[in-house]
Amino acid sequence: MPVAFKEFEEVQRAHGALSARPLGVIQVPVDEIVGSVGRARYFPKGLRPGRGLTPSRVQRLVAALSRGEVFPAVQLYRLGHEYFIVDGHHRVAAARMAGQQYVDAEVVVFLPEGHTPEDVVARERVLFEQRTRITTIVLHEMGQYPKLLRWIEDYRRQRGRSLRSAAREWYTRVYLPTLDELRQRRLITFFPGRSLGDLFVYLGDHKWIMSKAAGRDIGMAAALASFAQYLASSREAAGFARWLHGLGAIARRARRRIAARRRRRPRASR
């Protein structure tokens, strides 16, 4: 069913988002463009040729894309995880019709000033992006972006390079291949309302707990196999709750094991 385009000013007013920061030119998933700045009333059934768009112009742009032409970046506002078109409605519509997954966009991010979990996550995302220049990871829970940043900083320390350089390498060599595995295993079905980025964080937590329990780094492949096997024990969304409960039990056993080793360790003479 077609979804009406959102009006940016209405969403901005609801979140009290007045502070803006330029993010620069980035690639934006077309599916995350959900509204317009000042023109949403023309798109009650979504961004499609009609009252707000000239059909012949959209068709010309689609044909140009099929010939491999590259368009100038569109201009977008972002609030939370949603993008709103400032300039480039026809180009975005053509990209959708041509089946493009991404468009180049010059993005300005608006920061919500509220204290809801959604608002906090939006601010955490901006800070993460400013530090790493990774702009395509979508997470939905408070504390996940700072946690991801700590993992990238650990990766950087192991390789002795700048944070942004390490972040690019981590994104290419660790994050994207793991997402491909998660996607192929269709594990997202166990986490309704969450993204593949959320799953990556859950998997990272699982790996950390399992490694602590084993007393060594079990590696991503083993963690993924264990994670998938545990979720597969349930064919419905309750698999998440079961995984979470089991993860807590493993964590408690790991803490008891570490505490027991500390008690057995001889005290240094004073």
- The secondary structure of 29-46 as a DSSP string is EGGGEEEESS-GGG-BTB
Residue 102 domain-assigned? yes
Task: Count other C-beta atoms under 10 Å from residue 116's C-beta.
Answer: 11
Give me the domain span that covers residue 10: 1-114
- Which sign, positive or negative, has the C-alpha torsion 207, 213, 217, 222? negative
Percentage of the chain exceeding pLDDT 90: 62
Sign of CA dihedral 57, 58, 63, 64: positive
Q: What is the mean pLDDT of residues 135-141?
A: 94
The answer as to whether 265 is a domain residue is no
> What pLDDT is recorded for position 269?
45
Three-state secondary-structure class, residue 110: strand
Q: Which residue has the higher pLDDT, 248 or 192?
A: 192
Q: Into how many domains does the chain fold? A: 1
Q: What's the chain's average pLDDT?
A: 87
pLDDT tens per residue, range 190-227 = 888 899 999 999 999 999 888 888 889 999 999 999 88
Here the CATH number for the domain that contains residue 101 is: 3.90.1530.10
Q: Provide φ and ψ at 149, rounded to 5°.
A: -65, -40
Q: Residue 142: inside a domain, yes or no?
A: no
Say if 175 falls within a structural domain: no
What pLDDT was estimated at residue 194? 92
Average pLDDT over residues 95-122: 92
More confident residue, 265 or 232: 232
Q: Does residue 80 lie in a domain region?
A: yes
**Between 17 and 63, whose confidence is greater?**
63
Give yes or no for a contact between 82 and 35, defined as CB atoms under 8 angstroms apart: yes
The pLDDT assigned to 270 comes to 41
Q: Looking at the domain assignment, is residue 127 inside a domain?
A: no
| Predicted confidence (pLDDT) per residue in 232-247, tens digit | 776 554 555 555 556 5
| Residue 100 located in a structural domain | yes
Which percentage of the chain shows pLDDT scores above 70? 86
102-111 and 19-29 strand pairing: antiparallel
Flag whether 241 is in a domain.
Answer: no
CB contact set of 41 (below 8 Å; sequence gap of 6+): 7
In the predicted model, is pLDDT for residue 93 greater than 60?
yes
Whether the Cβ atoms of residue 132 and residue 162 lie closer than 8 Å to each other:
no
* Per-residue confidence (pLDDT) for residue 48, from 0 to 100: 78
pLDDT at 224: 92
